[in-house]
Structure 1
Amino acid sequence: MEDDLDYVLDDQIGFLLRLASQRHSVIFQKNVVGKLTATQFATLMRISEHGEVSQNHLGRLAAMDVATIKGVVDRLKAKGLVQTRANPRDKRRMSISLSDAGHQIIGDLKRAGHEISALTLAPLSADESQTLVSLLKKIS
């Protein structure tokens, strides 16, 4: 039995977002400094923006659940890019900040991030790029 509804996969937002995400991932992996994952990159950027933060707050800032952010922080700590310490106000919480090595690479990471965004958006005009980013923020 043939369905009466037209459904063209190439016109579906989920499919198109996945394709765009895959394209961006390839660009990211070719251009990121220090061979970081996207989640590690986002975590470092959030720490850079906010300074010392609790692990729970960092997870919310970077849009990651508790288990994921813990693993990301552990891997960044093993790379020497972040440091942790017990929160002075609440010993049950960990405070996370950039290490000296983390501070040293932030400028390179930001430059790479701008380049990655530019390469991802290269097929679009400046106005289209601005519109796309604005619309993605609206549905995120």
Structure 2
Amino acid sequence: MPAKPTLAKLDAHLGYWLRMASNAVSQGFARKVEREGVTVAEWVLLRALYDLEGIAPSQLAQDLGLTRGAVSKLADRLLEKSLIERRANPDDKRAQTLALSVAGRRLVPRLAALADQNDAEFFDALPSDQRRTLTEILRRIAQAHGLTSVPID
């Protein structure tokens, strides 16, 4: 019988710890925003629209690194919730733009506060210099691998 190879334990991998922390942070935030009636993916779209007066869905898809189909599905859900509006594009009457509704504009700051609260719950265990270092490390990894899509899951 051949010798059994020695394998690293699961928790010997950096990815293990990264995934453990990521899952907890993501799931905690998902629970918070779901109490406000939206998903994390919907929050991403709402937050992107908050800084704009209106944007073409195709441009929004490009900016977020999502497919046009994904943006369309999210927009449809947010339209049903009356959190966004479709408007005629002032430059091209055949095209449409997406913008926050009054209700959406009121909701985004509450959701942003939940995002801040979630970050604090998970990352206040680190001194501010370690938080900055962790952020920089994760940005470098994302850049090194060309990760540009906004995480929505």
Whether TM-score is above 0.5 comes out as yes
AA at the equivalent of 1:55: P
Query: How far apart are the structure 1 equivalents of 2:17 and 2:53?
Result: 35
CA contact 2:82–2:103 (8 Å) conserved in 1: yes
Structure 1 residue aligned with 2:84: 82
Report the TM-score when normalising by structure 2.
0.77
Amino acid at match of 1:22: N
Going from structure 1 to structure 2, the CA distance change for 1:66 and 1:13 (only over 3 Å counts) comes to farther
Q: Superposed, which structure 2 residues align to 1:1-140 within 5 Å? A: 1=2, 2-3=4-5, 6-32=7-33, 34-91=36-93, 93-140=95-142
Question: Where do 5+ consecutive residues of structure 2 fail to align?
Answer: 143-153
- What is the deviation of 1:9? 2.5
For these two proteins, the number of residue pairs brought into alignment is 139
**How far, CA to CA, are the matches of 1:29 and 1:46 in structure 2?**
17
TM-score (norm. length: structure 1): 0.83
**C-alpha spacing 1:31/1:9, structure 2 compared with 1 (3 Å):** same
Inter-partner Cα distance in structure 1 for 2:82 and 2:23: 29
- Residues 15 and 98 of structure 1: is their aligned pair in 2 closer, same or farther, counting only changes over 3 Å? same
TM superposition shift of 1:91: 4.5
**Bigger proportion of residues as helix:** 1
Q: Which runs of 5+ in 1 are unaligned?
A: none
8 Å contact 1:59–1:69 — kept in the other structure? yes
CA 1:120–1:64: 2 relative to 1, 3 Å: farther
Q: Which has the larger radius of gyration?
A: 2
> What residue in structure 1 maps to residue 150 of structure 2?
none
Which secondary structure does the structure 1 equivalent of 2:135 belong to? Answer: helix
Residue by residue, what CA displacement relative to the aligned partner does 1:5-44 show, whole Å, maximum 9, x if unpaired? x533323343333222210122113322613211111111
| 1:23-81 superposed Cα distances (whole Å, 9 cap, x missing partner) | 01221133226132111111111111233111122123333222211111111111111
Q: Secondary structure of the equivalent of 2:98? A: strand
Q: What is the root-mean-square deviation of aligned Cα atoms in Å?
A: 2.2
Distance 1:137 1:92 in 2: 39
* Residues 27 and 120 in structure 1, CA contact (< 8 A), matched pair in contact too: no
Q: 1:81–1:99: 8 Å Cα contact kept in structure 2?
A: yes
